[in-house]
Every structure is written in C-alpha cells, then in structure tokens.
Chain A
Amino acid sequence: MLEVQNVSYTYANRYQTNEVLHEVSCTFEQGQMYAIIGPSGSGKTTLLSLLAGLDLPTKGEILVDGKLMTSMDRDTYRRDTASVIYQSFNLFPLLTAMENVMFPLQLRGKPMAEAKTEAMKCIESVNLKESVLNQRPQRMSGGEQQRVAIARALAAGGGILLADEPTGNLDAANGEAVVAILKKLAHEKDYIVVVITHNTSIAEQADVVYRIVDGRLSTGAAE
C-alpha cells in the first residue's frame, strides 16, 4: 500500500518558488488501478515522481507498506518495488527489446540465462511480437515500444506500476491494448497501478480517479 500524507512540493530556484503540490493526501492499494487527472501544470507528474521515489516531498510523508520513504534506500525502492512507464517510453536506445526487459533483472544480479527466461515471460504477457525482440527501440512502433516498457516494468516485478500518459503517443487501438494490460496487472496480478492521463476514457476505466487542480487533490469521477 502507498500512502501519501499531507504532501507538499515546492520547486524553488534563485528567483522564485512555486508550490506545485499542496498538502496532498491519498492512498493507493494493491489490486486497484488509479487514474490521476488534471489540467497541465496541476502537479500530476510531480506526484508521480514522488511516488516513484525520484524525488522527495518538501513537506509531508509517503509511506510504502507502512515504511517512510525517507527512511528507505530509494535506489532499492525503484529497483525492487516501483516501476514507471512513460509517455515517451524511455527505453535504452542502444539495447534491444529483449536487453531492455532483461535490464532490471540483470541489475538485481540474475544470471544471463535466468534473466532471459524471466524476460521472455514478461514479454509474452504484453503480447509483444517475437520478431521485435532483437530490434532496438528506434525500429519499433510506438505501441511496441510501450509494450517493451511495460514488460521491463513487469520484469522489475515490484507490485507498483506508475504510468505517465502511457497512451499519449499511441494510436487508439494500441492505447486500448496498453490500458487493458494495465488493468489486467492491477486486477489479476495485484499491482498498484497509477496512471496519469488527460484521456477521460482511460480515467473511466480506473477503479479510483483522483483529480488534481492547482496542486490540490480531490476524489471524483472523470469528466
């Protein structure tokens, strides 16, 4: 379970400070798919980066299964617990699809052969064509790249999947397929899936929808 307690986040530089999140509190539970919606600049992505352990809140706390994130090794948290998929996929451009999926496994010290077997299972679960396995990202379609990104997140296998506009660069068919995979992960594999989206049809498919406006969070149905 992920708990966000009175979290505020302020971007500050030499000239100005900007409070992007203001005392946000929410909870994310296993087996549920969450959608976070809101206008551009409302703080959605900032919340996601805090949930991913890429940054720390200025105020408030985030708890992972009851443990304070500030007391955890965030590298280990990202490696073993939370994975992120992005609108722009963020695959390693020099690695093949298979190598991208194997990366988190090898990072955890799995031998090559074992990592390959596990990566193959993840790839199968996202219905990725075998023909792209040895291709590098620039030769894949957007849908294929996002599937590889999801497979890589699955390979990390931590139980928390955070997605930033995962269908933003995909056509409708691929977008629907990706959402179906995310739902399946939440409902069948007991993942916490948090999706940031502008797309109301995706939000409608989520179990819980949070709306952020001007850094303040509210619960509500998608518009």
Chain B
Amino acid sequence: MLKFQVFLSCIHIKRQLPKNILVFVVCAAMVFFLCSYASSIQSNQEQLNSLPEILPVSGFISNLNGSRNLGLLISGSMVDSLEASGFLKDMLYTTRMAATYAAKETEKPKIVYLMGYNTLTPYPSIRPDNLKDSEVFFKGQNAQCIASRRFLAQYHLSIGDPVKLDLYWYQFGEVPGQMTYEHLAQRTLIIADSFDSSVVTTDLIQLPDILFPIGWAKKTFAECDSPFYYDSVSFRIKDPMKMNDAKALMKAQGLLSVNPQASDSISGSTVVINDETFIRSATSIQNNLTLLWMFLPALTTAILLASAVMAHLMMHSRRGEFAVMRSLGMPKQACLRVYLMESMLVAFPGGIVGMVAALLFTALPFSASMAVLAVFYLFYLLGAFIAVRMLSRVSVAAMLFAVD
C-alpha cells in the first residue's frame, strides 16, 4: 500500500509539474528570505558587539575649561576609585617630581626632573636602551629608575649606580612659567637602564632626566603621609555599551563636564570622553537592529502563514480527488498520507535549496539556517496538517453526487 501511495504522490507531482515547480521556488524563496533577514539581524548584532573593539572610547582628565590634560593636580584616591570600579581599562597615568642632586657632597646640588609612568607603551619615542620588558619595570614599586644618557654623561654615572635625590613634588601654576615646589623626602634610586632623551618628542612640558615606576612614587608619598596627585590620566571605557554607568560613576566621584567659559586652573576636575563617533555608529546600528527586530514578528508571521496557506490551498484544490479515492475504498489515512507526502516532496527540497542559497550568499551560520528551515517546515506542515484535517471532514457523498 505504501508503495502505491508513493507512486501516486510522485505521479501527481509529475503531472502538475509547473504548479509544483512554482511551490518549490516559493518555498526556496521564503526560506532564503527568512535566512537573509536572520543574517541581517546577526550581522548588525555582531557589528554592535565588535564596535567597542573597532571604535574604542577613550577619555582623559582635564581642567575645567578643557585647556590642559597635563601638569594637573588629579587626586590619586579619586583615580584609584575609578580604576577599582571596573568600568575603565588601559589606564595611563603620569606623575612628575623634581629633585636636587649633587654627584659629590662638595658640589652644589642641581635640579633634576623626574617623570613617573605606569607604562611606556603609548610613548614609542621613549625607549629604554637595554630593558627587555619595561612593562614589568613600570608596573613595579622598586626604587629603580631609567636615566637619560645626558644625565649619565653629565654626572659620570653608569647603569647600576645609586642616585641619591632630595625629592620635591611640584606643580605648574595658573600663570605660565609659575611653579610650586614642596620638599617631600630623600630617597636613593638605582639606575636600571638608560634612554635617549634627545628623541623625546612628546608634548611633555619638561623633558625628564629620570623615569621611574609610578608605584614607587605612590609608595613614597604614602610613606611621607602626603596626598598623591597624578599629573595626567587617560583611559579607555572597558565596555562602551555601559558608558552611561561609567559616566554616572565619574559624576559621583565629583568629575565635571568641560565648561569652556571657566577660568584656567590646574585642578584635574573634569572628564573628557571621546565618544561621539562611537555613539553615532552605535545609535545607527542600534536603530537598524530595532527596525529589524520590530518587523521580524510581522514578517515571519506573514511568511510562515503564507507557507501554511500555500500548503492548505494545494490540498484544498484536491478535495474532489480525495472524495473519489475515498469512494473507491482507499482508507482516509492512506489518502491523507498521499497528499502529505506529495506536499512534503515539493516543499522540503525547496526549503533545502533556499537554505543552501542562504548559506552561500549570506553570513548566517549553518545552525541558524537549520533553525530557520525547521521553523519553516513546522509551519508548512502545520498548514498541510490543517488542510488534511479539513479534507478528512469533507462529506464524500456531497462531493461526489450532483445535487439531487
């Protein structure tokens, strides 16, 4: 019996080839369209997810009118809180100090400028001569330093020599050229390496003679019970999608927005975040995604309903045939199986062709394409099943006999 049903299904498909080709193409097109739509959502989502990598959001601390981002007084405790919050990454900070140094006790001490870093990576022009891993050096707290070749030559010093310094912390004043010095402590640093200060081309206000790890400076300030201030702080937002949270935290820490009308100051009280490009791009992608998601239910429902209706109509037009089959004694289930088989033999390959086309022409992964195909089949089967149920309720006698 099954062989006969398969034979009937095949012969029906063959004899209605144009109609079945149309159904095949429509099924393929529906699956392809659904896959393309899903692919579009996925690619937008991926773009949005990768946006923080492509367009990192950076920021820095400036004075209130935004005219300075170096030579500031930036509270160390405030920066530590920001860093601990987890909203920021790749933090770069500097601090500056001055010292007096005399190679011999009999000589008059001279002013030496020192700069503390937590990393040298963003300053490619400052390169230690020998140190392989300056990252480790600058992350540490050891009483070591990297001295400029000029400094070494001037004082006839070599790598490994100690440098005994009278340390001061200082700040530039409101008036250009004005500086404030305050004695801090006497410390000895060991020269770990040298660098060529003649190629330093950064916008440092004063070329340093000595570079030291910022951790050592913080420790020294703590030992002297003096508040620690950074000279400059810049950072990246760890997750720009949570930028508002990061901004709220900064606001809670007392950081303000730039006010160009404000007078000049050296207080690092303001945060500047370069997020315009990111926000513009993210908003555009987010708008696309919102639109795509908004239309998805309606579009999917329309397509899936269309597939169900198509399956239904394909069978509905065969009610007369169904009645004849029943009148010849073919069991109801066998008749319905013929129609279901016929319907599936056309729609299933159509769906697969649509999926393969989607795999070739869109970036949708195989698993997602399979999911789309499964949903399509489910609805097509549902339509076919409803049609079959309706067929099974047809009064065979009413279909076959002319009105008496």
State the A residues within 8 Å of B (CB).
Answer: 40-46, 48-49, 52, 54-55, 75-80, 83-84, 86-88, 90-95, 99, 103-104, 106-107, 109, 136, 152, 156, 164-165, 168
Contacts and interface: CB of A to CB of B under 8 A. Distances in A.
Contacts of B262: none
B400 interface: yes
Nearest to A52: B327
B4 A106 contact: yes
Interface stretch (B8-16, B121-129, B183-191, B291-299): B8-16
A115 to B, nearest CB: 10
Contact of B402 (A52, A77, A94, A168): A168
Given A92-B321, A106-B4, A109-B1, 18 more contacts: A40-B403, A40-B404, A43-B404, A46-B404, A49-B401, A54-B326, A55-B395, A75-B326, A75-B329, A79-B328, A88-B402, A90-B327, A91-B324, A95-B15, A103-B328, A104-B328, A107-B1, A156-B329
12 contacts: A42-B404, A43-B404, A45-B404, A49-B400, A78-B329, A79-B328, A83-B328, A94-B11, A103-B328, A106-B7, A107-B328, A136-B15
Nearest to B329: A79
Contacts of B11: 94-95, 99
B396 interface: yes
Interface residues of B, number: 27
A90 B400 contact: yes
Secondary structure of the B contact surface, majority rule: helix
Contacts of A168: 402
Contacts of B403: 40
A84 B400 contact: yes
Nearest to A81: B329
**The 10 nearest A-B residue pairs measured at CB:** A79-B329, A45-B404, A78-B329, A49-B397, A94-B15, A54-B397, A45-B401, A90-B324, A75-B329, A75-B331
Given A75-B331, A104-B329, A107-B329, A48 B401 contact: yes
Contacts of A104: 328-329
B404 A92 contact: no
B397 A87 contact: no
A91 to B, nearest CB: 8
Interface string B321-342: 1011111111110000000000
A104 B4 CA distance: 11
Given A55-B397, A107-B329, A94 B12 contact: yes
Nearest to A103: B328
